[in-house]
Amino acid sequence: MNIHRIGSAVTVLGDQLEVPGIGFLAVNSFVLHAREPVVVDTGLGLPDRDFLNDLGTVIDPADVRWIWLTHPDRDHTGGLFELLEAAPNARLVTTYLAVGIMSTERPVPLDRVYLLNPGQSLDVGDRMLTGFRPPLFDSPATVGFYEDRSGICFSSDCFGAPLPTTEVAACAEIGDVAPDALHAGQLLWAAVDSPWVHNVDPDRFLATLRPLRDLDPHAVLSTHLPPAVGRSSDLLDTIARAPQADPWVGPDQLALQEMLAGFEPAGA
């Protein structure tokens, strides 16, 4: 876990995963240091991860007032239920659909839930968080948000990019990423994570980018990209090309067998 601060507003809890054949993917969670502190997503649930312990180096979990779940995929919910137990005064900000999806695995305490849809806002004491549907998403339950005090946009999976090495995926900001690698990685991720983008009308897709262009956020914080400060226009210009980018086709069984042949058995 790589933990670093963006100004006074946000701490990034940065993790990474290798995706064979694709690259190294950032898996970020965030703490928004509002008057009523907000945790945005809760990391991976792998056995060697301990999100709650990592979070405790940034903030006492008991002080957390809100947990904003951008959507219920497992790379966003790893420490969710442990955090709900450790933060008895926290409410879970999510959607009706996300609650339904999570409830197929484990009961969600409905008295702790705060349902919020795109276009609705949440007052966290010293700033407003306004939910929006990011232009690219892999779950219909996705809701990112714009924070009006520091001008930061939390975009969930949108703008993500597999990167060449774990060190690059863990860097403190995208200025440390080679432009060609960033551009190619973002178009690849759009094809992997939002394959529907190849089937939409390009003009209608471009229209979904306009609200973010008009906001021109100071920083864009994606789950799957190093922090992007002052680069919102560049990010939007890249994903504007997603409908025309090459579709992605995953490995088939023959490719899997070739991958496995390159691994030594455990204990060999």
pLDDT, tens digit (0-9, with 9 covering 90-100), for 184-196:
999 999 999 999 9
- Check residue 265 and give its pLDDT: 61
The answer to whether 243 and 202 have CB atoms below 8 angstroms apart is yes
Render each residue's pLDDT in the chain as its tens digit; 268 residues.
899 999 889 999 999 999 988 999 999 999 999 999 999 999 999 999 999 999 999 999 999 999 999 999 999 999 999 999 999 999 999 999 999 999 999 999 999 999 999 999 999 999 999 999 999 999 999 999 999 999 999 999 999 999 999 999 999 999 999 999 999 999 999 999 999 999 999 999 999 999 999 999 999 999 999 999 999 999 999 999 999 999 999 999 998 898 888 766 655 5
Instruction: Assess contact for 173 and 230: CB atoms under 8 A.
Output: no
Q: Where are the domains of the chain?
A: 2-261
pLDDT at 226: 97
The letter for the amino acid at 205 is F
pLDDT confidence of residue 266 = 55
Which pLDDT does position 267 carry in this prediction?
A: 54
Nearest to 49 by CA among 15, 74, 83, 81: 15
Q: Phi and psi (nearest 5°) for 19?
A: -110, 100
CATH pick for 2-261 out of 3.40.50.1820, 1.10.4160.10, 3.60.15.10, 3.40.470.10: 3.60.15.10
